[in-house]
Amino acid sequence: MRLSAYFLPTLRENPKEAQIVSHRLMLRAGMIQQASAGIYSWLPLGYKVLRKIEQIVREEQDAAGAQEVLMPTIQSADLWRESGRYDDYGKEMLRIEDRHGRDMLYGPTNEELITDIFRTHVRSYKALPLMLYHIQWKFRDEVRPRFGVMRGREFLMKDNYSFDTDYQGAVDAYNRMFVSYLKTYARMGLSAIPMKADTGPIGGDLSHEFIVLADTGESGVFYDKAWENQDFANMDVNYADMSEVNGIVEKYTSLYAATDEKHDTENCSVAAADLKERRGIEVGQIFYFGTKYSAPLNAVVSTPEGEEVPVHMGSYGIGVSRLVGAIIEASHDEKGIVWPEQVAPFQVAVANLKADDEGCTSVSEDLYAKLSKAGIEALIDDRDERPGAKLANLDLIGVPWQILVGPRGLKSGVVEVKNRKTGAVEEMTPEAALNKFAS
Amino acid sequence: MRLSAYFLPTLRENPKEAQIVSHRLMLRAGMIQQASAGIYSWLPLGYKVLRKIEQIVREEQDAAGAQEVLMPTIQSADLWRESGRYDDYGKEMLRIEDRHGRDMLYGPTNEELITDIFRTHVRSYKALPLMLYHIQWKFRDEVRPRFGVMRGREFLMKDNYSFDTDYQGAVDAYNRMFVSYLKTYARMGLSAIPMKADTGPIGGDLSHEFIVLADTGESGVFYDKAWENQDFANMDVNYADMSEVNGIVEKYTSLYAATDEKHDTENCSVAAADLKERRGIEVGQIFYFGTKYSAPLNAVVSTPEGEEVPVHMGSYGIGVSRLVGAIIEASHDEKGIVWPEQVAPFQVAVANLKADDEGCTSVSEDLYAKLSKAGIEALIDDRDERPGAKLANLDLIGVPWQILVGPRGLKSGVVEVKNRKTGAVEEMTPEAALNKFAS
């Protein structure tokens, strides 16, 4: 992509309305724009990152055996009356009346609707186990939306729902998702730690929330330092093998981790020397809630014994749009965003530091063309701007690698290759720079 | 994907509520389920097709130089008051009041919001031309939603907006989209013909609608039979070269085509022998509307001469969810759907016609494993069902190729490879069948 043509409205000043760093940096990097309170438009750079995160979530859901559907944003109130949640949900639910005076709502979650789909088509244990997920926009009418996409009103969520004949099957599904979440977050370059959680308005009696470590996080967390040396991103899991899956769950549920609300230093299972305290951000939560929805909605299956039983369910959420903010909270410095390579909007940025110099332009354009041809997502700053402004801008938007093409270096036949995270700069020929990325 | 585990709730009976063939077949093939009037959940098979269509649309938008953003579904009424459309829009607009009593709405289209994004960031002709698009769910509260996804209330639409300094620039953008649409629809296996159109509530004075030929179409169309021999799918366009783009537009706007409302056999430019009459379905529309929104919303840019002028705009829509229905209307037979290969949910289906036969099972499983490994999207019917039911089911869901593995054929060392569209069956060894697809 050419920066001269790219719609990337970066800001030099810190926007006053942004109280936390991810919100500030997303506005400054031209990733989002507020449409109204707690509701954002995603501009090209932001949307590119959002889609990368979404795709990692999708791939790991598919790998764990879940099937993708898409439920609509607008739901009928009738189903929520059946489950009893229509009145319970309070003012966070955006209630709507259509032209015929029917009560509708913008879905804040989808337990009712997915249970309706299930009960329409499934009658027998033979169709189970089943996990259906979707990645869809939700709406929660927060009193005071703030912190940008971290607590917006319209937000993108992956929610998965599992259906099993009995408790044991449901726990298997829960454990598959537990393992899949470890891998999902790690693939985005995050350290996410599962912690026992209360179930809140979803209900149920088994729940974990996944918390990403970030110094700017909203809540305190305590954990065994062994959490820091796990390579979940490259974990090879056979989800069909429940003893393997359960083994992973057992291993990691016995490794200590707790939010500050639940932590008790006096009585915790980990030695003081191994206990770490940091801050974190919740980026997902998984629930087993049994027959809480299937019983009132009459979603029953016949067992092998011919009995009819309400199906056992769980739900598994990931805050997809929230993750964009969470990743920035976990990975930034005073200059701007530092994207983990896995979710970076571009892999490499080529900066032509002197756009009116023929040599710089020809080397930059050649590098950009060859990187693009090799299938690398490359950005070229081909604008007529001061070098300082270009460098600051690239640091702000956080592309992992920068190739800086300036007249001084070219005299010695080299360009500079800079790592955004470490700041380390290496001089090399343009060919060597190309080979570093397009090998 | 294994049919034994796939959530594909096909129906044997024709659902009574469906009046047109695409609605009937989408319900029967387990692609969608009605959530409430005119609002659908997309089940795995349907969503897979929807995403393929969406991806083709995206690729062709990107190729034509448009940049992808995502605007939210819920908008503030304020912007619509600024443009004057809040009161004009009538009951089709889903109006919402949030918890603080603010007037909101579910966007039926996005001219106002995109103009607001533009005016916030762009002030100079130097940032132009610019085309921003998104693929997002819209809501139109139709009085009588019907025909399934063809006229739903919540529907997925690609809408692109162009911004240019003057009329000529805007026409260039319009022409780029005109050409890009020819290619987009052709890549889905559709014959779509652009026809001069009225502009309706969007406004403006230049518009074409793109109409897909289908015998079951909603309106009559007349066109020069030369339209039928165009290979738009493989058209190689350089969108930077306006003389090339304009040449294509000129060529095809002078090739006769008109809806029955505008057609007049007495005075039409094409010889009677070359005039074809068929039926069609509208699947997209493009508009130039000048300063209709930029003037009231004060979206102005400075020209090279230092003047401030309201920006010239156009908008370009494609009904993405509607296309799923339109493709089925254009491509089906009495047995079910006939997917064009480009949008088929799976490329090949392997049917194990005798699941309790060891030979059939081993050959089917081996073919499925090898096809999947070669990157082919394959489906295997591994269920314990009668062969007749399996064949009818595969015909219904319309996978382009079927490999039928039965005990009789295997005795002679062959399987049957059937083309869904032509019905032609070829016998060959399992190895030859594999090579046919995974070469």
Residue B3 included in any domain? no
Closest in A43, A92, A96 to B69, CB measured: A43
Q: Is residue B8 part of a domain?
A: no
**A238-256 burial code (b ≥16 CB/10 A, e <16):** ebeebeebbebbeebeebb
Instruction: Out of B5, B7, B68, name the one closest to residue A47 (CB).
Output: B68
A405-421: average pLDDT: 97
Q: Which of B47, B69, B81, B385 to mutate: most A Cβ within 10 Å?
A: B69
**What is the structure's pLDDT at A273?**
93
B355 and B293, same structural domain? no
Instruction: Express each pLDDT in A274-295 by its tens digit.
Output: 999 999 999 999 999 999 999 9
A54 in any annotated domain: yes
Does B11 fall in a domain?
no
> What are the tens digits of pLDDT across the range B17-46?
899 999 999 999 999 999 999 999 999 999
Report how many domains make up chain B. Answer: 2
pLDDT reported for residue B202: 63
Backbone angles phi, psi at B280, to 5 degrees: -150, 170
Q: Decide which of A316, A337, A358 is a domain's last residue.
A: A337
Q: Is A116 inside any structural domain?
A: yes
Q: Same domain, yes or no, for B158 and B102? A: yes
What is the chain A residue with the closest CA to B70? A42
At residue A252, what are phi and psi to the nearest 5 degrees? Answer: -90, -20
Closest CA to B344 of B383, B386, B378: B378
The per-residue pLDDT for A201 is 65
Same domain, B91 and B239: yes
Q: Are residues B413 and B266 in the same domain?
A: no
Position B333 scores a pLDDT of 97
What's the pLDDT at A405? 98
Residue A203's pLDDT is 64
Of the partner residues A67, A75, A153, the one whose CB lies closest to the CB of residue B35: A75
Torsion of CA B288, B291, B294, B300, to 10 degrees: 120
pLDDT given at position A204: 67
**Structure-model confidence comparison of residues A200 and A344, the more confident one:** A344
**A190-219: per-residue pLDDT in tens?**
999 999 887 776 666 789 999 999 988 888
Chosen from B78, B104, B131 to mutate, greatest number of chain A CBs within 10 A? B104
d(CA A401, CA A416): 10
Question: Which residue among A337, A364, A386 closes a domain?
Answer: A337
**CA separation for the pair B312, B300 (Å, rounded):** 9
* CATH number for position A36: 3.30.930.10
Residue found by looking up tokens 């005299």 in the block: A411
Q: Do A74 and B94 touch (CB under 8 A)?
A: yes
Its ipTM equals 0.96
Among A337, A360, A392, which residue terminates a domain? A337
Minimal Cα distance from A99: which residue of B?
B91
Residues of B in contact with A119 (CB under 8 A): none
CB spacing of B68 vs A44 below 8 angstroms: yes
Buried (b) or exposed (e) across B322-355, using 16+ Cβ within 10 A?
A: bbbbbbbbbbbeeebbbbbebbbbbbbbbbbbbb
In angstroms, rounded to a whole number, what is the distance separating the alpha carbons of residues B217 and B211? 9
Task: Tell me the backbone φ, ψ of residue B265, rounded to 5 degrees.
Answer: -55, -35
Residue A288 to residue A316: CA distance in whole angstroms:
9
Packed helices B320-330 and B21-28: angle between N→C axes, nearest 10 degrees = 100
> For residue B435, what pLDDT is reported?
97
CA separation for the pair A111, A399 (Å, rounded): 38
Say if residue B28 is in the same domain as residue B147: yes
pLDDT at A146 over 70: yes
Which pLDDT score is estimated for B203? Answer: 64
Which residues of chain B are modeled with pLDDT < 70? 201-204
The pLDDT of residue B390: 97
The DSSP annotation for B373-395 comes to: HTT--EEEE-SS--HHHHHHHHH
Beta carbons of B43 and A69 less than 8 Å apart: yes
CB contact under 8 A, B36 and A104: yes
CA atoms A120, B399, B393, B370: torsion sign: negative
Q: What is the mean pLDDT of residues A396-412?
A: 98
Phi-psi region of B184 (alpha: psi -120 to 50; beta: other; left: phi over 0): alpha
- Answer yes or no: do B264 and B380 share one domain: no
CB-based contact A44 B67, cutoff 8 Å: yes
Q: How far is B133 from chain A (nearest CA, A)?
A: 10
Mean pLDDT over all residues of chain A?
A: 95
CB within 8 Å: A71 and B36: no
Domain co-membership, B73 together with B196: yes
Give CA–CA dist B336/B350, Å, rounded. Answer: 18
- First-residue to last-residue Cα distance in chain B: 21
Number of cross-chain residue pairs from A and B with Cβ atoms under 8 Å apart:
141
Rounded CA-CA distance A204/A289 in Å is 4
CATH number of the domain encompassing residue B378:
3.40.50.800
Same domain, B330 and B408: no
The answer to whether residue B10 is domain-embedded is no
Q: Quote the pLDDT of residue A17.
A: 87
Residue of B nearest to A42 (CA): B70
3 state SS for chain A: CECCCCCCCCCCCCCCCCCCHHHHHHHHCCCEEEEECCEEEECHHHHHHHHHHHHHHHHHHHHCCCEECECCCEEEHHHHHHHCHHHHCHHHCEEEECCCCCEEEECCCCHHHHHHHHHHHCCEHHHCCEEEEEEEEEECCCCCCECHHHECCEEEEEEEEEEECCHHHHHHHHHHHHHHHHHHHHHCCCCEEEEECCCHHHCCCEEEEEEEECCCCCEEEEEEHHHHHCCHHHCCCCCCCHHHHHHHHHHHHCCCEEECCCCCHHHCCCCHHHEEEEEEEEEEEEEEEECCCCCCCCCEEECCCCCEEECEEEEEEEEHHHHHHHHHHHCEECCEECCCHHHCCCCEEEEECCCCCHHHHHHHHHHHHHHHHCCCCEEEECCCCCHHHHHHHHHHHCCCEEEEECHHHHHCCCEEEEECCCCCEEEECHHHHHHHHCC
Q: Determine the structural domain holding residue B214 and report its residue range.
A: 21-337
Does A439 have pLDDT greater than 80? no
Amino acid in position B252 = Y
Give Cα separations from B198 to A253, B203, B262, B371 (angstroms). Answer: 64, 9, 10, 49
Contact by Cβ (8 Å): B110, B83: no
Confirm whether B416 is domain-assigned: yes
Cross-chain CB nearest to A41 (options B78, B113, B141): B113
The answer to whether the CB atoms of B69 and A120 lie below 8 A apart is no
B298 in the same domain as B176: yes
Which residues in chain A are contacts of B116 at CB distance < 8 A? 35
CB contact at 8 A, A184 and A283? no
What's the half-sphere exposure (Cβ side, CA atoms, 13 Å) at B432? 9
Side chain identity at B170, as an amino acid letter? Answer: A
Residue B4 lies in a domain: no
CB-CB: which of A44, A102, A113 is closest to B35?
Answer: A113
Cβ atoms within 10 Å of B198's Cβ, excluding its own: 12
- Mark whether B387 and B275 lie in a shared domain: no
Query: Do A322 and A358 sit in the same domain of this protein?
Result: no
Put simply, the answer to whether B40 touches A143 (Cβ < 8 Å) is: no
* Residue contact B154–A74, C-beta within 8 A: yes
Nearest to B94 among A30, A96, A141 (CB): A96
Give me the sign of the Cα torsion angle B326, B327, B330, B334: negative
Q: Are the CB atoms for B384 and B352 separated by under 8 Å?
A: no
Cα separation, A322 vs A282, in Å, equals 9
Do B304 and B410 have their domain in common?
Answer: no
